Amino acid sequence: MAEESNESNENQLKRPYDDDHPPAPPPTAPTRQTPPSTFDKAMPVDVLFDKMVRVVVGVEPNKRTFEIHKGLITFSSGYFNTALNGRYATEASPQTLTLKIEDPKLFELYQSWLYTRYFRAPAPGPKGPCVQVTFEELVRLWDFGQRYHVPLLQNLASDLVIQKVGIEWMGPGSSAVRYAYAVTPVDSKLRKLLIDLLGMTGGAVGTLTAADKTEQTSAYPREVLVDLLSVVWGPQARRLDQNGVILMDWCQYHVHEAGVRCNKGPMKASTKASVKKEG
Ligand SMILES: [Zn+2]
């Protein structure tokens, strides 16, 4: 008995280091309550790509059914983790969720991001993936991340807004800004990002169209204009060129857990030459 016991103990000690028995994932990983806001906490592949779940999105005639790996959709989303792993999760196989109010086209972008970390296949050339999505789609994806508790999605959407402005040198446009203000709270990181970009690049990126300037159009609600003045008149007022936009501190617009920062910023000292102070 003593010998058997020793062999068993030896196997237990060796197992985590054997090729056939790789180290087990941290016990808290599959049941994490707070979804990650950075990619440094990767889940094991066998957990991410385990069972399939169905998500029925929209209503007829545009209703679509998506099949997604459960580990993938639950890892990054507090909502989907609770819905599919929580105490009230259905026992059906496959598990099925219905999201009637969502747009299947937007959900398709979300599904694409889950598998590829992009919203659409990257375009060839120096402009990269950001040109494949519109400002309004990015705002809607950020809002989706807000409602389904997917900080990784929100952070990528913010990053691509910055890239689009910096690379394409175009403003977000009044419709995207109006949408953002309609669906976000006052202290939203998305509002801050859009207002900072408008205030710091302003006329350089053609923010105001002819229609925006007419009295008949209220392209920007009063709330937007007041926030814009706080940027233009504030102590941090400055003018950014394209390089300055790309080299901004991206992380200040991210949604992170308290005390967490990612490696997107802050701005390097060598880039300060591209930023001119107002006045
Ligand atoms: Zn960050």
Q: How far apart (Å, rounded) are the C-alpha atoms in residues 76 and 152?
A: 7
Q: Is the dihedral of CA 125, 127, 128, 134 positive or negative?
A: negative
CA of 199 to the centre of ligand 1 (A): 22
CA of 154 to the centre of ligand 1 (A): 10
Q: Mind listing the pLDDT tens digit for each residue in 182-222?
A: 999 999 999 999 999 999 987 555 555 555 555 445 578 88
CA of 187 to the centre of ligand 1 (A): 17
CA of 145 to the centre of ligand 1 (A): 15
User: What pLDDT score does 260 carry?
Assistant: 84
β-sheet bridge partners, residue 67: 54
Contact 273, 239 (CB under 8 A): no
User: What pLDDT score does 219 carry?
Assistant: 75
CA of 249 to the centre of ligand 1 (A): 9
User: For each of the chain's 279 residues, which pLDDT tens digit applies?
Assistant: 333 444 444 333 333 333 344 333 333 333 446 788 887 666 667 777 889 999 999 999 999 999 999 999 999 999 999 999 987 787 777 899 999 999 999 999 999 999 988 887 655 565 555 557 899 999 999 999 999 999 999 999 999 999 889 888 888 888 899 999 999 999 999 999 999 999 998 755 555 555 555 544 557 888 998 998 998 888 888 888 889 998 889 999 999 988 888 877 554 444 443 434 433
Name the phi and psi angles at 266, rounded to 5. -80, 180
Listed by start position, the domains of the chain span: 21-102, 118-279
Q: How far apart (Å, rounded) are the C-alpha atoms in residues 152 and 224?
A: 26
User: What pLDDT score does 154 carry?
Assistant: 96
CA of 175 to the centre of ligand 1 (A): 26
Q: Do strands 96-99 and 64-69 pair parallel, antiparallel, or not at all (unpaired)? A: unpaired
CA of 254 to the centre of ligand 1 (A): 5
Contact 41, 35 (CB under 8 A): no
pTM across the whole model = 0.77
Q: Do strands 52-57 and 96-99 pair parallel, antiparallel, or not at all (unpaired)? A: parallel
Contact 31, 85 (CB under 8 A): yes
- With tokens 């792993």, the residue in question is 85
Residue 165 CB: number of other CB atoms within 10 A? 27
